[in-house]
Chains A and B, each alone.
Chain A
Amino acid sequence: ETGVTQSPTHLIKTRGQQVTLRCSSQSGHNTVSWYQQALGQGPQFIFQYYREEENGRGNFPPRFSGLQFPNYSSELNVNALELDDSALYLCASSFDFTGAEQFFGPGTRLTVL
């Protein structure tokens, strides 16, 4: 069984640029959630996708958007990057969205200069 994978591991961008982060969910999982973890903070919920549809969103602006594909992998896109977007971005997959255990990936470290 393959766990949750994320790419890239690290990324450096400049303010105003756009970035795409990728996540492959664990085999058999149809739900993907994305979290932002700033330094010294706990993860903060961005949004969740279930069977290719957005299934809830946290308090993040519209420049944070996502996609889920038929194989349940997912992308997180961030437009017009700001310095405060620098963080570890975590992806978590679960069997469904009704409270099943979430399995986390290793994260993508984004630095915005």
Chain B
Amino acid sequence: AQRVTQPEKLLSVFKGAPVELKCNYSYSGSPELFWYVQYSRQRLQLLLRHISRESIKGFTADLNKGETSFHLKKPFAQEEDSAMYYCALQWASGSRLTFGEGTQLTVNP
């Protein structure tokens, strides 16, 4: 069965520091992975997906099939990055998603 694990519920960094939000997955098929973000009082929205290989708002994520990981990274965190981040795995045919439990990122001034 598919599973997504985000080991850190809370992560706190200072502005300008690097940040890494961890995500591990288990899935026997070919995975498609996403990071979703929810800013305070806003709806859940897509941040990035691994197939696009884009950098969004300075964030990048590399799919490591050997380690079954899809960690989200940003070299210099900003206060506006404070939000809840969810890693998600798309499985089977169709766009159904399995989410991790989320990591609340706080960037302190």
Interface residues of A, Cβ cutoff 8 Å to B? 4, 31, 33, 35, 40-45, 48, 50, 55-56, 58, 90, 94, 96-107
Interface residues of B, Cβ cutoff 8 Å to A? 4, 6, 32, 43-46, 49, 86, 88, 90, 92-102
Complex-state Cα separation, A73 to B67, whole angstroms? 40
B101 touches which one: A33, A42, A48, A105 (CB < 8 A)?
A42
Can you list 14 residue pairs at the A/B interface with Cβ under 8 Å?
A31-B95, A40-B101, A41-B102, A42-B4, A42-B88, A42-B101, A43-B86, A45-B97, A45-B98, A97-B93, A98-B95, A99-B32, A104-B43, A106-B43
B95 close to A97 (CB less than 8 A): yes
B96 close to A100 (CB less than 8 A): no
A48 close to B43 (CB less than 8 A): no
Complex-state Cα separation, A41 to B45, whole angstroms? 16
A residues less than 8 Å from B45 (CB atoms): 103-104
Complex-state Cα separation, A55 to B100, whole angstroms? 22
B95 close to A100 (CB less than 8 A): yes
B97 close to A102 (CB less than 8 A): yes
A48 close to B94 (CB less than 8 A): yes
A residues less than 8 Å from B90 (CB atoms): 99
B96 touches which one: A40, A45, A104, A106 (CB < 8 A)?
A45
B residues less than 8 Å from A103 (CB atoms): 45
Complex-state Cα separation, A99 to B91, whole angstroms? 9
